[in-house]
Structure 1
Amino acid sequence: MHELDDEPLWDVLEEHLDEAEFLWESWEQSLVAPNYTLEEVASGVESRLYAHLDGLVIGDAPAAERLLVPALESDEPTRVSAAAAALLLGPVDSALDTLFTVLQDLPEQRPALVRAFACTDHAGLLPRLRATLSDVDEALVAAAAEALVFRHEPLGEALSVLLASDDPAARCLGLQALPGEPEAAGQVRAIQAGLADDDPGVVDAAIAAGLVLAPAPTWTRVRARAEEPGGAFAMLLLALRDQAGDRAALLAALADAARRPAAIYALGHVGAPDLVDACLEWLEDAEAGPLVGEMMQALTGIDLDDAGVTATVEEEALEHTPEHDLPRPDPLPTMQWWLRQRSRFEDGQRYLQGEPRARAEVVEALTSGPMRRRSALLLDLQLRAPRGVLLRLQTRAPTARQQRELVELRRLLGAG
């Protein structure tokens, strides 16, 4: 009878795993969603996710052996990430050995495992990741490096391996790591090589690093990159910089249907009322209309749903994106609403959430604004930070870590 009492409630544990898989995906979406704030993520989907992970941890070794370890071979990445996180959070001594065996033997599972490594704390995880940096398998080195870079950990000698790799993804990773490396100032050549790379992703990674370490040549490349296919990141940078000619370059991109959505999104980060005026003609466009609405919300601080100017659109997408969570403006009522609001905002002034845009407002929006816009706000602050100051905030990390990093960011900026 005693043995039966000790037998885990397998149906309950299986439900915990199923729910953790579902909620992991929902959590990932919430981290970049326009309709969530950091506090709402923390108290909502993330809290529920960790409740189910805790339920799996309580299952101890039997749950690990029967449910979690087999789940590491699942075809569903979110199930792999959830199972790996539960193993890392649990008391099973062999968890790290098991996870790193899967990391080595099942390359197709690496992205999901790396995501769990990046987001879950375990006493032995960082030493194990650092040891993997010396592996002869470059793909394993890159996997370990990705998790370490996400945690703002230096890569040491592995950095040169990544920068010299034939794999564009590895070169991207090396460039992403550069600003946080102790000897970053001596890596200008690596940035220059990245700016001239044939792979657009590598160029974008070099631009991101160059903004911190080598601004002069980087900005020259940004302007050219903004004209190229897939130049959305460069367009956003021009909008955030907002120097002479930058707005004109972005306004010119509105005439190109392929570049228009990225241009509207970028212009929405300027916060200038005349730029809203310039985008009104695309309110009826299925793709561009919600981006124009987002621009209005960011400038005025008023939710379009609350203003009663949105339309209900029922459509099924094959793949969910953050844009699907944007409200869809009803064109005529939205235009009329904007014309009523327009007199509150002066030409020549930039606004954020209804107030003149300044660093304090950007920090506040980074803290309590929509999740979707926070990475751009962080970039805005970085562009204006003192030379040599690196602002670190992982906007796709668990919220407790983000809150700690926000405290340090405010300290560096003197924002209280």
Structure 2
Amino acid sequence: MKHIIDNIIQQHAEEAAFLWLLRTNAVRAPHYALKDLAKLDERVEAHLDGLRVAGESGWELCKTALGTEENGEVFAASVMTCESGIESRIQAVCDVVQQKPELSAGLISALGWIPFDQVASQAQRLLSAELPLQQMVGLAAYAAHRQDPGPALKDALSSTDLILKTRALKAAGELGKTSLIPAIKAELTAEDLACRYWAAWSGALLREPAAIPVLQRLAESGHFKREQACAMALRRMSIDQAQAWLRSLASSPEMLRLVVQAAGVTGDPANIPWLIQQMSDPVLARVAGESFTMITGIDLAHDDLDTNRPEDFEAGPTENPEDENIELDPDEDLPWPNPQLIEQWWVTHRLPFTNGTRYLLGKPITVDSLHEVLRTGRQRHRIAAAIELAMRQPGTPLFNTNAPGFRQQALLQAR
């Protein structure tokens, strides 16, 4: 009997870790709506409940799983740890994270998963720790809940530890801290690229004009967050400025995918005929379709404007052991657009759209339309809506589209 129970507990631990990994992709997936995320998160919570009911046995299994040095296992163990409040357990998780800092993502996610009133004391303890990595985790926990960490945030902005400083720069934007704009501006020329990016990201969010050219240069230079940098810059530009920059970028063939994505960010229907042309290129087709949807709100699959994958097209790793391409297909979850049908649709439905006006999912961008997207859009649309809202309301925290789905639903219902 004990063997059977142990197997069940083991299954809860493994499923909680696996589903956490699944949700880290889901929060930015093009096919996940909030209701889908909430269902996934309810499954995560159900397995966490199984571990809670198991008590000490559940913790021991999670503690053993920490040895795999994977973020999903750290997440499950951290939830058990943080909810228990037992110091030895907390220290065990912190020791693992300190040895391998990239595992801090699992611990931070756990602190963000549990209601803030249950983790506030632990977040404060981490924030007050001597080790910069623990301070970063504590600061990230406050930011995840959109709670003010007090003077510790300003202190972290002047830290010599780059990981802590970088997280503080991001938190300043997430929390809407307009009072920290001078400190953020000082990092727009930082030698460290991560610091410079997050300073520019938060600066744009807080409507600091000096951030825009920094974001443009990061996007043009091939920074690993070039897509996000490009999108943030565009959202702070006028339509004319945005279109002029896109024309400049489009002159470089290696920038074409970025421009196709950017056309959706600008939301200007004047770009739609060009986007339809790009749908004939298998490499750009799906991302062009996504930008078309971003502007018009049309679901290509639901409205029968999609087609089959081209037979001779390959993206991502193949079964050939000699193939050196191991990168996953970035557009895997996007439908394949049918350019002919979409062009016909556009000829018929073009009239209500006005060139020079910014649209998101078929509606001109307004505060009300953005709130609607937060409630009903898919994750990538919701991320865009949250950023657009924060830019229109300086000093207001950025809505956290990464938070547990059931918590987001409650927050949006209360608004």
The question of a shared fold, defined as TM-score above 0.5 by the shorter chain, is answered with yes
* CA deviation vs aligned residue, 1:100-154 (integer Å, no higher than 9, x gap): 4444455453332222222224766322221222333222222322222222233
Letter in 1 for 2:146: H
Deviates more, 1:133-142 or 1:115-124: 115-124
Please provide the CA RMSD for this pair.
3.1
Query: Would you say the 8 A contact 1:268–1:295 is kept in 2?
Result: yes
Deviates more, 1:311-320 or 1:190-199: 311-320
Aligned to 2:391: 383
> What secondary structure is seen at the aligned counterpart in 2 of 1:70?
helix
Match of 1:395 among 394, 401, 410: 401
Q: CA deviation at 1:180?
A: 6.7
Letter in 1 for 2:130: V
If the length of structure 2 is used for normalisation, what is the TM-score? 0.84
Q: CA deviation at 1:340?
A: 4.1
Aligned to 2:358: 350
Distance in 2 of aligned mates of 1:284 and 1:195: 39
Aligned to 1:414: none
Letter in 1 for 2:259: A
Deviates more, 1:374-383 or 1:397-406: 397-406
Match of 1:117 among 111, 116, 119: 111
Are 1:70 and 2:64 matched, yes or no? yes
- 1:389–1:285: structure 2 CA closer, same or farther, 3 Å change rule? same
Match of 1:140 among 104, 128, 134: 134
Are 1:372 and 2:380 matched, yes or no? yes
Are 1:233 and 2:239 matched, yes or no? no
Letter in 2 for 1:348: G
Deviates more, 1:341-350 or 1:312-321: 312-321
Are 1:197 and 2:190 matched, yes or no? yes
* CA deviation vs aligned residue, 1:185-205 (integer Å, no higher than 9, x gap): 553432222111123322221
Aligned to 1:151: 145
Match of 2:78 among 74, 81, 84: 84
Letter in 2 for 1:56: L
Aligned to 1:177: 171
> What secondary structure is seen at the aligned counterpart in 1 of 2:265?
coil
Query: Would you say the 8 A contact 1:239–1:267 is kept in 2?
Result: no
Are 1:55 and 2:30 matched, yes or no? no
Letter in 1 for 2:143: V
Distance in 2 of aligned mates of 1:384 and 1:207: 17
Distance in 2 of aligned mates of 1:122 and 1:238: 32
Letter in 2 for 1:258: E
Aligned to 1:309: 306
> What secondary structure is seen at the aligned counterpart in 1 of 2:221?
coil
Q: CA deviation at 1:272?
A: 2.2
- Extract unaligned runs of 5+ from structure 2: 318-325
Distance in 1 of aligned mates of 2:262 and 2:361: 16
- Extract unaligned runs of 5+ from structure 1: 411-416
Q: Which has the higher contact order (CA 8 A, sep 6+)?
A: 2
Distance in 2 of aligned mates of 1:180 and 1:98: 30
If the length of structure 1 is used for normalisation, what is the TM-score? 0.84
Distance in 1 of aligned mates of 2:139 and 2:205: 20
Letter in 1 for 2:332: H
Deviates more, 1:336-345 or 1:51-60: 336-345
Aligned to 2:320: none
> What secondary structure is seen at the aligned counterpart in 1 of 2:12?
helix
- 1:315–1:51: structure 2 CA closer, same or farther, 3 Å change rule? farther
Distance in 2 of aligned mates of 1:104 and 1:258: 39
Match of 1:323 among 327, 331, 338: 331
Distance in 1 of aligned mates of 2:86 and 2:180: 42
Letter in 2 for 1:395: T
- 1:50–1:336: structure 2 CA closer, same or farther, 3 Å change rule? same
Query: Would you say the 8 A contact 1:240–1:269 is kept in 2?
Result: yes
Aligned to 1:413: none
Distance in 2 of aligned mates of 1:289 and 1:142: 40
* CA deviation vs aligned residue, 1:39-84 (integer Å, no higher than 9, x gap): 12212x212121111112111112212x111112223321221232
Map of 1:245-264 to 2, 5 A cutoff? 245-264=241-260
- 1:152–1:167: structure 2 CA closer, same or farther, 3 Å change rule? same
Q: CA deviation at 1:364?
A: 0.6
Q: CA deviation at 1:300?
A: 2.5
Aligned to 2:276: 280
Distance in 2 of aligned mates of 1:198 and 1:170: 15
Deviates more, 1:87-96 or 1:318-327: 87-96
Aligned sequence identity (%): 26
- 1:93–1:170: structure 2 CA closer, same or farther, 3 Å change rule? closer
Aligned residues: 400
Distance in 1 of aligned mates of 2:175 and 2:352: 46
Deviates more, 1:340-349 or 1:254-263: 340-349
